[in-house]
């Protein structure tokens, strides 16, 4: 992910294509404990610091981006904040709500800006779905499902170890929970979670999380790494319609109810008999349309972070939002351990 940040700051090639160059930040340099990564950075013409301390002593560095295994985030975030740098930390920002509080305290003590890179808030399908929901076209949201389904297991590096903060709940769960709450509200009442350990790792290789909001909305988040048939990426049920995104490349499909009472329903043949309840609606009582995915600007995150340093904008990913997401993750682990729903 460090390569992603450097590539998007400088407009370098990233996995075969040239990343768009940032208009607000430059990459002053890189530090990694792995000498091969340092060589790679030099190959791209980037400055490489010999130590973190050398980097922190460079007055040209205004922002440090922490892209190391999750279990090391707190130590590095606090060190950089104490050195007077503003800090962007990769997700998940912390391993616990208490750890996050220590980071926030360091940012407040040092008067520096600190946030987490929840970049998937800017995913095109999510931005489009969120706008559709806000438009009221599918009425009031009752429930939503958000999922990522893969079948390749979890990567064989630190993502498999507990001490490094591995596991899918931390890895993908944090993105999906952040999106679900951003779209539906932070008024979490309780959380129920099941973790999968299908591949026998010490960390979860998948999870099912139900988040019950005080507003009555239920958000289901699913991360699976052994699904050979994938279900839709996002599915939102409103009082006046349903919206769905099938896959990363799909637009948003919408079916809106235009007349609740449908007098033209023809019974459908089910496995053992006819059903009117489960029959498809007649075309007269619904309206179908597709919403093309929004153009998103990947650099908006950095633009906002810089504007927050200049006190021109509030942080897009703010501390209170980060706190609720961490509390949901904490509750999810507790729920999976006890088998009960956990109240926040």
Q: Which residues contact 43 (CB under 8 A, 6 or more apart)?
A: none
The nearest distance, CB 166 to ligand NAD, in angstroms, is 9
* Phi/psi of residue 268, nearest 5 degrees: -100, 145
User: 88 near 117, Cβ under 8 Å?
Assistant: yes
The nearest distance, CB 147 to ligand NAD, in angstroms, is 17
Q: What residues pair up with 255 in beta bridges, in sequence order?
A: 242, 288
Query: 343 in helix, strand or coil?
Result: strand
Distance of CA 153 to the CA centre of its chain: 19
* Location of structure tokens 């999810």: 332
Task: Identify which of residues 63 and 254 has a Cβ nearer to ligand NAD in the complex.
Answer: 63
Q: Per-residue DSSP letters for 270-313?
A: ETTEEESTTSPPPGGGEEEEEEPPPP--TTHHHHHHHHHHTTSS
C-alpha count within 13 angstroms, C-beta hemisphere, residue 272: 0
Task: Identify which of residues 132 and 207 has a Cβ nearer to ligand NAD in the complex.
Answer: 207
Query: 102 in helix, strand or coil?
Result: helix
Q: What share of the chain is helix, strand, coil (3-state, %, to 5)?
A: 35, 25, 40
The nearest distance, CB 212 to ligand NAD, in angstroms, is 27
Task: Identify which of residues 36 and 134 has a Cβ nearer to ligand NAD in the complex.
Answer: 36
The nearest distance, CB 298 to ligand NAD, in angstroms, is 11
The nearest distance, CB 185 to ligand NAD, in angstroms, is 23
The nearest distance, CB 229 to ligand NAD, in angstroms, is 25
Task: Identify which of residues 37 and 47 has a Cβ nearer to ligand NAD in the complex.
Answer: 37
Distance separating alpha carbons of residues 244 and 143, to the nearest angstrom: 12
Distance separating alpha carbons of residues 195 and 335, to the nearest angstrom: 9
The nearest distance, CB 313 to ligand NAD, in angstroms, is 21
Helix axes 124-135, 174-184, angle to 10 degrees: 20
Residues forming the site for ligand NAD (CB under 6 A):
1-2, 31-34, 37, 67-70, 72, 90-91, 117, 119, 157-158, 171
Task: Identify which of residues 58 and 264 has a Cβ nearer to ligand NAD in the complex.
Answer: 58
Q: What residues pair up with 190 in beta bridges, in sequence order?
A: 212, 343
The nearest distance, CB 255 to ligand NAD, in angstroms, is 31
């Amino acid at each position: 992910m460090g390569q992603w940040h450097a590539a998007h700051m400088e407009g370098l090639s990233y996995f075969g294509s040239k990343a768009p160059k940032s208009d607000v930040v430059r990459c002053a340099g890189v530090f990694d404990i792995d000498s091969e990564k340092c060589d790679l950075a030099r190959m791209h013409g980037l400055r490489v610091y010999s130590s973190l301390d050398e980097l922190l002593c460079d007055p040209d560095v205004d922002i440090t981006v922490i892209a190391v295994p999750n279990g090391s985030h707190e130590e590095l975030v606090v060190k950089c904040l104490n050195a007077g740098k503003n800090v962007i930390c990769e997700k998940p920002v912390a391993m616990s709500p208490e750890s996050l509080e220590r980071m926030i305290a360091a940012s407040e003590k040092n008067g520096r800006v600190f946030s987490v890179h929840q970049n998937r808030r800017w995913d095109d399908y999510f931005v489009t779905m969120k706008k559709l929901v806000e438009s009221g076209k599918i009425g009031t949201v009752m429930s939503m499902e958000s999922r990522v389904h893969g079948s390749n297991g979890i990567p064989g590096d630190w993502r498999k170890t507990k001490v490094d903060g591995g596991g899918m709940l931390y890895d993908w769960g944090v993105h999906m929970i952040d999106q679900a709450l951003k779209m539906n509200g932070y008024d979490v009442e309780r959380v129920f979670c099941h973790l999968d350990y299908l591949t026998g790792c010490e960390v979860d290789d998948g999870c099912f999380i139900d988040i019950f909001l005080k507003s009555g909305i239920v958000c289901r988040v699913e991360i699976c790494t052994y699904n050979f048939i994938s279900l839709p990426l996002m599915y939102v049920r409103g009082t006046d319609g349903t919206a769905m995104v099938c896959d990363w490349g799909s637009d948003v499909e919408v079916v809106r109810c235009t007349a609740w009472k449908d007098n033209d329903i023809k019974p459908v043949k089910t496995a053992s008999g006819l059903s009117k309840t489960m029959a498809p609606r007649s075309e007269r009582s619904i309206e179908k349309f597709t919403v093309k995915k929004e153009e998103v600007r990947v650099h908006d995150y950095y633009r906002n972070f810089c504007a927050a340093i200049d006190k021109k904008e509030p942080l897009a990913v703010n501390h209170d939002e980060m706190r609720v997401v961490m509390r949901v993750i904490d509750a999810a682990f507790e729920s999976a351990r006890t088998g009960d729903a956990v109240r926040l």
